[in-house]
Structure 1
Amino acid sequence: MTQKYEDRVARLTAQVDVDMVMITDPMNVFYFTGCFIEPHERMLALLVDTKTKETALMFPALDQEVVNDTATADVHLPYNDGEEPFNQLFEHMLEAESIGIEGGHVTYNRYQKLLENYTADQVVSVEDSINSLRGQKDEDDKKKLQEAVDITEKALYDFVKEPVAGKTEKEIAEFLLERVKAYGAIDVSFGPLVLTGEKSAMPHGEPGDKAVEPGHFLLIDFGVVTKDRYVSDMTRTFIIGEPTEEQRSIYESVLKANAAGIEKSQVGTPMHELDDAARSSIHSDGYGDYFTHRIGHGLGLGLHEAPSLDAENTDLLEKGHVITIEPGVYKTGFGGVRIEDMLYIDEETEVLTTFPKAMEAITLEA
């Protein structure tokens, strides 16, 4: 297991042009060391010497036991409450003339502390390199992501076993949370987002006291966090009772777009082409104005990682990318449909989610 983290450090040092990298995002620290600490307001920093590949972990002393048990860092730099961690940090970085940071994570106050010892030209962001590395998954990652998907789908299968009419959005969300934890998840990756009736037209609405009724769309978007901290993300939209002509039309349009996006999800494809394919399909059905977000995103240890599958991204899909394909149509005052799957990009792309999505499978008894 240690080799896995050493390889990640080596890949990072080969990509960046700085003397030292200072990593402060707890999930990135976990990615490179196997140690997860939530420091809250305290300082957490993994220091990587790009020449020697030596790693040093600065952390609150109260987390010493966790570090001892899990961290692969070569050097431990604990500090006590009341001590100024930057004093020890600067001492460890004494020989470094340039520092790489996560530009989107380091706070203004901490950046100002760095400027006490370095000029602005000496502090650069290496966030793109870190994000790119996290975007590449191997077979072990895929196995752990599949575990997250399996837990999610088991909970959803439990949900559809019983009649749903009369249950509130909050009750459904609480049921799903209870079931995923029963199957081994340590938490949900978000939500669960449960929206019924006209509320299903809100891409990021909040579950409330609205009850499921015959004739409703019921949109459920959720995922889990496993014990290994891998996440899932899946959406299925159900129809309660016999679908109306318009419900059927919208649902089939989104399903067709979902299939078009998946078909385009191949090694070497420019990422915008996935969005283009799904958007073109929905537009041809007359619902183009109601598809208001990108086709998908990467995920792994985080719910939203590289790559971004938006209409402007010309980067190519690569082996090891894990992405979502999630087209949607959201018609205010009527309701909305989103269908979301997780994919592992390989020589033959694998769809990790298997929960049924055909019309007959998602039509539930009123």
Structure 2
Amino acid sequence: MTTTSLQADRLDRARKAASAAGIDALLVSPGADLRYLTGYDAQPLERLTCLVLPVGGDPFLVVPALEKPAAQASPAGRLGIEITGWNETDDPYALIAARLPRALTRVALDNRMWTEKSLAFRAALPGAAQVLAGDVLYALRARKSPAEAEALRRAGAAIDRVHSRMGEWLRPGRTEREVGRDIADAIIAEGHVRVDFVIVGSGPHSASPHHELSDRVIEAGDPVVVDIGGTTEEGYCSDSTRVYALGEPPEEFRRAYEVLLRAQRAQTDAVRPGLRAHELDAIGRDLISEAGYGAYFIHRTGHGIGLESHEEPYIVAGNRLPLEPGMAFSIEPGIYLPDRYGARIEDIVICTANGGERLNRTGRELVVLT
């Protein structure tokens, strides 16, 4: 399937899903949903850019006049949909409202649309209830096509290459920030076009799951959590966490790490169609709790990944969503002892008809650097 036919198929499936949900039109502003449907990576400006997808008519894209050449040059320009530019003195919301049926009752706005834009649509379409487009679009995006799965495999291999080089940068006497800069450069060098995040949590900072880079000097014996990810030229994200120790870590840390490793392996091995998200979360959480560390596993097991580093499905207690072939998500249990140390092991996994495929292939054992 060509890129153009793929996008056209996505538009058609989105229209059918919206119709089945009783939605009259989808309104999609710049972001991952717009990229998914049209391939257009539009700038999120104060000026309105919006894909309009009426369930009973042809889609059209409304863009600021000065952005029209970029829209036409993007994959959206090859889709054959109308691209309408609006001038500085025009009201784009009124323009869209005039082209939609008067009997409109429900419109779905993408979940990340700016509040000022959603309120402007409410004023322009006073008779239409506003609902979230994510209820329709996220279900489509959560099930990756074979081409998307292959793009995620390439992203996973790229971030694995960065982790395999960690010994070049991690050593006592360097600061987290210095190491983070080297890692960011390698993320680009190894196949990404954008660095999405770099976490280097050393010593007591390893107990903070979303620790920011700091000027702390890394010391001998420190455990170091390295959580890194980026976006490839294809637009798909990577995300992987490994734990390193600069010399022999405390024995108590090793014991906690072995518990974490068993839990993460049990979860990745358990992935299969029909298993519910909360059940997958419980597999690792129960093992960690039985070992006495349950109070220190303080976040969900994982998140979906694709055009965004965090998207549906979320692997968390209370989510009864059954896993389906094509769903891609992280499995990243953690144990964090406040002000002492912490650890997290993270792989991206794709659910297949036969089980789970782990996309990150670097070893999950504690890596001791000497």
TM-score tier by shorter-chain length is over 0.9
Name the counterpart of 2:202: 196
Name the counterpart of 2:313: 307
**Residue 261 (1) aligns with residue 267 (2):** yes
* Conservation of the 8 A alpha-carbon contact between 1:290 and 1:330: yes
Once residues 292 and 55 of structure 2 are traced to their aligned partners in structure 1, the CA distance between those partners, rounded to angstroms, is 53
Name the counterpart of 2:48: 43
Once residues 178 and 218 of structure 1 are traced to their aligned partners in structure 2, the CA distance between those partners, rounded to angstroms, is 19
Q: How far off is 1:18 after superposition? A: 2.1
Once residues 222 and 82 of structure 1 are traced to their aligned partners in structure 2, the CA distance between those partners, rounded to angstroms, is 44
Letter in 1 for 2:251: E
Structure 2 residue corresponding to 1:355, chosen from 354, 362, 365:
362
Structure 2 residue corresponding to 1:26, chosen from 28, 31, 36:
31
**Cα distance, 1:61–1:39 mapped onto 2, change above 3 Å:** farther
**What whole-Å deviation, never above 9, does each CA across 1:103-154 have from its counterpart, x for those lacking one?**
6333443333333343465333332111111111011001111121122111
Aligned pairs for 1:164-313 within 5 A: 164-189=171-196, 191-313=197-319
Name the counterpart of 1:84: 91
Once residues 222 and 163 of structure 1 are traced to their aligned partners in structure 2, the CA distance between those partners, rounded to angstroms, is 14
Q: Secondary structure at the match of 1:31?
A: helix
Q: Which moved more, 1:322-331 or 1:10-19?
A: 10-19
Name the counterpart of 1:343: 349
Q: Secondary structure at the match of 1:224?
A: strand
Give the TM-score taking structure 2 as reference length: 0.93
Q: Which consecutive residues of structure 1, in runs of 5 or more, have no partner in the other structure?
A: none
Once residues 44 and 250 of structure 2 are traced to their aligned partners in structure 1, the CA distance between those partners, rounded to angstroms, is 51
**Overall identity of the aligned pairs, in %:** 29
**What whole-Å deviation, never above 9, does each CA across 1:255-312 have from its counterpart, x for those lacking one?**
1110121122111101101110100011111111100000001010001111111110
**Residue 62 (1) aligns with residue 69 (2):** no
* Conservation of the 8 A alpha-carbon contact between 2:228 and 2:240: yes
**Residue 12 (1) aligns with residue 18 (2):** no
Q: How far off is 1:101 after superposition? A: 2.2
Once residues 133 and 170 of structure 2 are traced to their aligned partners in structure 1, the CA distance between those partners, rounded to angstroms, is 51
**Cα distance, 1:165–1:28 mapped onto 2, change above 3 Å:** same
Q: Secondary structure at the match of 1:218?
A: strand
Letter in 1 for 2:361: T
Q: Which consecutive residues of structure 2, in runs of 5 or more, have no partner in the other structure?
A: none
* Conservation of the 8 A alpha-carbon contact between 2:27 and 2:107: yes
Give the TM-score taking structure 1 as reference length: 0.94
* Conservation of the 8 A alpha-carbon contact between 2:194 and 2:230: yes
Once residues 186 and 316 of structure 2 are traced to their aligned partners in structure 1, the CA distance between those partners, rounded to angstroms, is 33
Report the RMSD for the aligned CA atoms in angstroms: 1.7
**What whole-Å deviation, never above 9, does each CA across 1:327-365 have from its counterpart, x for those lacking one?**
000001211000000001102321000111123xx1111
Q: Secondary structure at the match of 2:364?
A: coil
Once residues 203 and 124 of structure 1 are traced to their aligned partners in structure 2, the CA distance between those partners, rounded to angstroms, is 33
**Cα distance, 1:309–1:62 mapped onto 2, change above 3 Å:** same
* Conservation of the 8 A alpha-carbon contact between 1:222 and 1:235: yes
Once residues 177 and 108 of structure 1 are traced to their aligned partners in structure 2, the CA distance between those partners, rounded to angstroms, is 33
**What whole-Å deviation, never above 9, does each CA across 1:136-174 have from its counterpart, x for those lacking one?**
101100111112112211122222245522221111111
Q: Secondary structure at the match of 2:323?
A: coil
